[in-house]
Structure 1
Amino acid sequence: MIIYKDEVFGFFEIFNEENGTLIRSDVSGVDPVMRSFPELLDVGIMGHCDSGEYCRDAGVDCYQGGHKIYAPNMTIENFLKIAKQAAGKTFQIALGGAGDPNKHPQFEEIMKICRAFRIVPNMTTSGFLLTDSEVELIKKYCGAVAVSWYSRLNNGRENNPQTIKAVERMLEAGCTTNIHYVVSNDTIDEAIIRLEQNLFPGGINAVVFILYKPVGNGVTEKVLKNMDVRLEKFFSLVTEKKYPYRIGFDTCFTPAILCWTNTIPTASIDACEAATFSMYIDSQMNCYPCSFGLWDKRMSESLDDKTLRQIWLGEKFTDFRARKKAKCINCRHRQLCQDGCRLGIDIDLC
């Protein structure tokens, strides 16, 4: 167990390194709205993608545009710099970036650094071109691994065997394995079918539903709208049916959860954590409140010039946290939702 006490915002946290359970308390009786230092760092160690052609063939709209950019991967020296500054304050580092983190040339060293500073590494992978040695390293060092769900049903059969095989290999190795399923205007119908018929692989830990964003290769036509009648069916399946795995959501879904459900305990619902409990760092050491905002360079600052704490408490992140929406002023869910997404990309499902 790791215990963190935040004197500034009046709360403490208990984090279980073995199973990832996080308990956040408070002193004031009101849920804390932010932390003095990021609880989670989303670190984009990959500056480019080795699997972009496979993702495009699978119809994936990469939010990082991984197939068309080529930046250097993060150096081991820079990653060590991040870990040293985060030690004792950050519980987890989510490894990612423009490509699969397991393809970083120093993947093992990066995870060893995390563990040396008592930070749990987690990661998401497409599963394309996955090797046995990578699976072994993931099992040895990662708290959990998520496989991006790039398979679709075609006449009742899966159309992407690489995705299915990647999940099976992770499970066979004993990895705590989640599925990340992006929910869009194009994919929500299949999500409903999979939930109705229990068509996700057996043995997984959880299915985490990720809200589609119109950034990178994303397009506005695929963004779900707040009055989409399919949301009622989707959330009824999530809340009323039992599954052999857990169901989770990214916090971009919080406005929808508060709007469309009434049985999910509020203690398990978080507002958007961008610049309040987490931040994103790209392969070139530029820091952003959120990885989905990496296309807006106005909100970024470089770790070459400042420390993590200076950026976290600095003017740009403070201004980001202060962004409010007129429509939220009188909303009864505002205390829990905290005005939803602050990126201005019109994804709030409320």
Structure 2
Amino acid sequence: MAADLIATKPGVMCVSAQALAQLTLPNGESRSHGATATPEQLAQAQAGGCIDIQPGITVNVLTARKNTSVVSYQRPGSTTVETFVVPNIDFSPVFTDDAAASQPAAQTQAPASAPTPTPIQAPAVTPATPAAPAKTATPAPTVAAPDGYHVTQRAPGLDGDSIELLEDERITPALQKQLWGTGASEEGLPGNDPKPLVKAQLRLVSASGAIAATRQLDYPLARVEPAPLHGLPGPVLFLTVDATAPMGSYSGPATQILMPARQSLDPVQYTTDDGKTSALVLAATGKAAWKISPSRKGGADEIQQVRCSPDFDKKDSTGDDDDFVTRYETYRFFDGKWRLAQRQHSGIWESDQEFPKRNMFP
């Protein structure tokens, strides 16, 4: 997928996570790409609030997945970059076996590459019934950023709330993309600006424009995107903080889960078999990776995390792979909680290897 694409036709991106869910199958495939959406589903999606993308507008792709992409879009006249999740549209109508070439052409927007996310969906096509015109979402109230910051992302919350990500005012979308994963510091700024980068912040802004909560993050760069997790009681967000160090294989982006319905900026917790709770943090490093998988028993999607580290319990080092231990973790959501199941084996795993097969995870 190209890094930057220009929309040559008008299209729509829906701001609502529920709207996206109406057009996404449990396995993550887009109904607008691989299956048929009913008129009722399309109407529900459009009622979630959509943004019209006019010809000539640049839409950037931050993350390209198999069937959806996280894209960013800056409205004309706005200084804030908003982010969305859109199905990957192939710019042609979706046909079923008994719906033939009499279909009208699909009206779509072009995806592209960029900094981060917020729930949405792009134009969808049914085999027989064209979708009704999309409504334009009501803009969230603008709240001034603290000195030295600017709002780089805004994600919809509950009852008109919004979750905003603030970063150093010198960080542009292009610069964030350039610095991501490098152990960002002021040394990466153009012009050799000596002023240290400020740490990123999250804030919860009410529908009236009041700041309900704030949270300072540990590093300057972060991203917020809709989490493509199916089967949960409400939409969730991934907050990814770039904790990459300039050197070493044990640092990298760390992802937490936020639940806007809780009207809180605190990360989701998980519970172990012995009842202990901790923040659910997913690591992507030279020796750690994670992925989302459909549940093997039905219900909400599962998250699988693999982590490798030195075996500190081993007394006699042999200088080989047995000096390491690899942990296989599965996070499952049931009874209203995330729960952790895990096992470990001797041996090394690194991120340039294939992700472990599913039967390695409990």
Q: TM-score, normalised by structure 2?
A: 0.25
Higher RCO (CA 8 Å, separation ≥ 6 residues) = 1
Structure possessing the higher radius of gyration over alpha carbons: 2
Q: TM-score, normalised by structure 1?
A: 0.26
